[in-house]
Amino acid sequence: MRDTTLLFWVLLLVQGVVGDTDGVKTVSVMEGDSVTLNPDPTDLLGDEEIIWKFGNEIIAKMKETYGIIYTDDLIFRDRLKLVKQTGSLTITNIRTENVGHYSVDIRKSTDTKLKTFQVTVHGVFSDEEDGVKTVSETKGDVLLHTHLSHIQQNDPIEWTFGTQNIPVAKTDGKSYSISYNYNDERFKNRLLLDIRTGDLTIKKSSAEHSGLYQLKIITSSYTIQKSFNVAVSGAVSGIFGASVVLMVWAVTVFLLQEI
């Protein structure tokens, strides 16, 4: 009986340690995406020292006395951004060589917190160096395909338009309800958001829908961002096209008569 009681308390202690230790967060993105790794959803106090590592190498660190320092420019090529208020690390236009184990060490005067991420990169979202996917279409429906299939119900989705980031479609992260920006006449009754994939369809698009579209999907541990540069060109109308054909035919007949 004594041995059984001792075993019970040992198991309880082990389970407590496992519960208090953050597991490795797996983040799967496509090449060309931007991803933000979040160490903690709450704001920092400002007196912490934050150290981000890629494998065993320090790639970014921050402390109030010396500010933010990026220590690796060979693999990431100025594509890292450390946010002072939250300690989150953003990798823009992520590439296959950025696959691996990331860890953040937040050191306070009283304790130290460690959080780890395993980042995998698959497929290609954008071949552009800036990570922005170009979509060129004539008038009609335009589909902005995210290539995602693992969005959870509580992961907020937000689509914005233009350099001013005007919200056009979003979910609240609590339910499957979708809200569209019907105050903007350009998008009224023209948008369709797929909550399973984050895909956005612009129905009956025209040149006024050309511009930068940005997608942001937020989870408790990381944020995925994708950017699309949409160019909608007008198709030749039937009347105008017929007029051009008739004009060419008339000129051809005239030249033949002259010959």
Q: Are residues 33 and 117 in the same domain?
A: yes
The residue range of the domain holding 100 is: 25-124
What are the tens digits of pLDDT across the range 85-139?
889 999 999 999 999 999 999 988 777 888 999 999 999 998 888 899 999 998 8
- Residue 4 confidence (pLDDT) above 50: no
Highest mean pLDDT among 39-53, 59-73, 105-119, 205-219: 205-219
CATH number at residue 34: 2.60.40.10
Q: Are residues 138 and 185 in the same domain?
A: yes
**Would 63 be classed as within a structural domain?**
yes
**Quick one: average pLDDT of 203-230?**
94
**Would 77 be classed as within a structural domain?**
yes
Task: Specify the pLDDT at position 56.
Answer: 93
In the listed set 70, 91, 124, which residue is the last one of a domain according to the structure? Answer: 124
pTM for the whole structure: 0.76
Domain count along the chain: 2
Average pLDDT score over the chain: 81
**Would 249 be classed as within a structural domain?**
no
From CA 80, how far away is CA 70, in angstroms rounded? Answer: 8
**Would 37 be classed as within a structural domain?**
yes
**Would 157 be classed as within a structural domain?**
yes
Q: Are residues 88 and 139 in the same domain?
A: no
In the listed set 104, 124, 144, which residue is the last one of a domain according to the structure? Answer: 124
Q: Are residues 51 and 88 in the same domain?
A: yes
**Would 18 be classed as within a structural domain?**
no
Give the closest residue to 29 by CA, choosing from 96, 78, 82, 127: 96
Burial 154-176 (b: 16+ CB within 10 A, else e): ebebbbbbeeeeeebbbbeeeee
| Residue 250, helix vs strand vs coil | helix
Q: Are residues 147 and 111 in the same domain?
A: no
Q: Under a CB-based contact definition with an 8 Å cutoff, are residues 78 and 130 in contact? A: no
Task: Specify the pLDDT at position 151.
Answer: 83
In the listed set 77, 96, 124, which residue is the last one of a domain according to the structure? Answer: 124
Q: Are residues 166 and 116 in the same domain?
A: no
**Would 151 be classed as within a structural domain?**
yes
**Would 141 be classed as within a structural domain?**
yes
From CA 172, how far away is CA 49, in angstroms rounded? Answer: 33
